[in-house]
Amino acid sequence: MSKQNGFTLVELMIAMLVGLILLTATGAFYLVNLRASMDSVKVQQFDKTVQVFIDNAVSEIRRACYVRGGESLPPPTDKIIGGSCIVFSHSVEDVDEPQSYGFKFEDHNIYIYVNQTAISCDGDEGAGWEQLPGITAKNASIGRGNDCETPGGPDFGDDTVCVEFDAEGSIALSDGQKPTRRVEFVSIIRNFNSCDGI
């Protein structure tokens, strides 16, 4: 009888066990990396939303009360009510009528208003105010002038608007935590002398 070369049943079972262990370890490593990658994307989306809000708010507040020749602004020109809302108007290039804008914090939500009609902080989501998705705001405040000053910091005039809040993402990461950022910015109203009734 000739001797056959090959693996015994025990050797095959050991090889399969080693292969299964390697496959399990590789799968676990892949899942950890996948979760970390998904968390990174969520944090990037959150950061992008916060930055877009800041850029938009700073830009629009700077332009508050700007009026092209012959136009008049819808009321109110510029108001801050209760430290949680700012509404104002300004002329916009390529738009016939001035636009009204607003930013407010209510029930930990951020609301934005853009329209051609007069604006009030009392309106809700159905009255032209739209909630900014993906972010909640805690400890929010909007201030003017002296409200913006910090001990040892610069002195601000009435043309200064400051906004502060703790932003929190609405989507939890894989560890159950939500991304958070402290947001603070100051914007100077360039056309302050054109503002009426501040």
The residue among 133, 141, 91 whose CA lies nearest residue 112 is 133
Is position 29 within any domain?
A: no
- Parent domain of 151: 38-194
Is position 19 within any domain?
A: no
Is position 118 within any domain?
A: yes
pLDDT of 28 reads 86
pLDDT of 5 reads 76
For the chain, list residues with pLDDT below 70.
1-4, 70-82, 116, 118, 123-127, 194, 196-198
pLDDT of 125 reads 52
Q: Would you call 124 exposed, middle or buried from its count of C-beta atoms within 10 A (0-12, 13-18, 19+)?
A: exposed
Is position 10 within any domain?
A: no
pTM: 0.75
Is position 1 within any domain?
A: no
Tokens, residue 128: 């032209």
pLDDT of 198 reads 45
Is position 100 within any domain?
A: yes
Is position 172 within any domain?
A: yes
Is position 46 within any domain?
A: yes
Structurally, how many domains does the chain consist of? 1
